[in-house]
Structure 1
Amino acid sequence: MIAETVCAAVSAAGLGIAAITAYRKRFLRAARIAAYSLVPIGLVMTGVVEWLADSAFSPTAWAGFGVLGAAWLLFATTRAVERRGGGGGTRKERKAAQAAQREAIAPAASAPSLGQGSRPAARPTTTPRAAGSTDPGDDFSDIEAILKKHGI
């Protein structure tokens, strides 16, 4: 009975604050406050508050929460052990599985797939330059001419 009274008081106070907020011409905020303030009274009307109050003082409910906690702890522990690599089998079985996995990979997988004959010929270290360009700066002469033409 006390929980229902407290929820009703919280809802009334929230609706009062929403009315003051609406009076200040902040209608969107007032509507949001009104929505939040109607939740506790809605919970009272649906019976959720009474169910929670009955459950909070029930030893059977607390034992149920304990069982749920133990189940969660078992799930978490088995998941952690599985991630560490200790999931199932003996040490010999795990080593055999790892060896089989290594053998499944092709041993020459890291070698290049192209033979020596199919590679393109290596470029000579000194390349003859075109007759017109003797300086590497000449490569940009066309670009400089365009920039000067546009006044840049």
Structure 2
Amino acid sequence: MIAETVCAAVSAAGLGIALITAWRKRFLAATRIAAYSLVPIGLVMTGVVEWLAGTAFSPTAWAGFGLLGLAWVLFMTTRAVERRRGGTREERKGRKERRSAGAAAQPGAVAPKASAPSLGQGSHPASRPAAGGDDDFSDIEAILKKHGI
């Protein structure tokens, strides 16, 4: 009963402020204030306020909200642990199987037989001797050879 009275008073005050705002020739703002002012009385008339007031003072409802919160915390904890581990057990097993199948299907570098004959012996940049010394660019040459460049 008190919640309904408070909502009615808030609506009446809001409509009064909207009237004063309209008196000052700010019609758009007055319309917006009037719209916000009608929400509390509309909630009272639909019964939402009564339901909320009954829920707010019900220990059973609070226990239910507590259990919902606990379920949410447990769910989020399991999601965080899954992300930290790298997915569920089935997902990790599937990734491991795909990796082993991919490694068996493609031995060596990417298309090594297709790139070697087409480049020829002398045109490969990594096959030329380094100008400054062998040890200066040897690691770069190894990377280029690894990628077939």
- Tell me if both proteins adopt one fold, taking TM over 0.5 as the criterion: yes
Aligned residue number for residue 33 of structure 1: 33
Amino acid of the residue matched to residue 29 of structure 2? R
Relative distance call for 1:109 and 1:11 in structure 2 (3 A) is same
- For residues 62-101 of structure 1, the aligned pairs below 5 Å read 62-85=62-85, 87-89=87-89, 99-101=96-98
Please show how residues 107-146 of structure 1 align to structure 2 within 5 Å.
107-109=108-110, 114-115=115-116, 117-118=118-119
Q: State the TM-score, normalized to the length of structure 1.
A: 0.65
**Alpha-carbon spacing, 1:113–1:12, altered in 2? closer, same or farther (3 Å):** farther
Larger radius of gyration: 1
Distance 2:113 2:75 in 1: 46
Cα deviation, residue 25, structure 1: 1.0
Q: Which residue of 1 aligns with 2:143?
A: none
Deviation of 1:38 after TM superposition, in Å, equals: 0.4
Question: 2: CA distance between counterparts of 1:100 and 1:110?
Answer: 22
- Give the 3 Å change call, closer, same or farther, for CA 117–18 of structure 1 in structure 2: same
Cα distance change on mapping 1:67 and 1:112 into 2, 3 Å: farther
Structure 2 CA distance for aligned equivalents of residues 101 and 54 of structure 1: 56
Cα 1:27–1:115 shift into 2, 3 Å: same
- Deviations along 1:32-73, one digit per CA (max 9) or x if unpaired, are 000001000000000100110011111110111011111111
CA RMSD of aligned residues (A): 2.9
Q: Is the aligned partner of 1:102 residue 2:135?
A: no
| In structure 2, C-alpha distance between the alignment counterparts of 1:30 and 1:112, rounded to whole Å | 78
- More helix, by proportion: 2
SS at match of 1:81: helix
**Number of residues of Structure 1 aligned to a counterpart in Structure 2:** 118
In the other structure, the counterpart of 2:46 is: 46
Sequence identity (%): 68
TM-fit CA distance, 1:86: 5.8
The answer for unaligned runs of 5 or more in structure 2 is 124-149
Rounded to whole Å, the distance in 2 between the matches of 1:21 and 1:111 is: 79
Paired with 1:9 and 1:112, the residues of 2 have a C-alpha distance of 85
Pair 1:59 & 2:59 matched: yes
Q: Distance in 2 between matches of 1:27 and 1:99?
A: 67
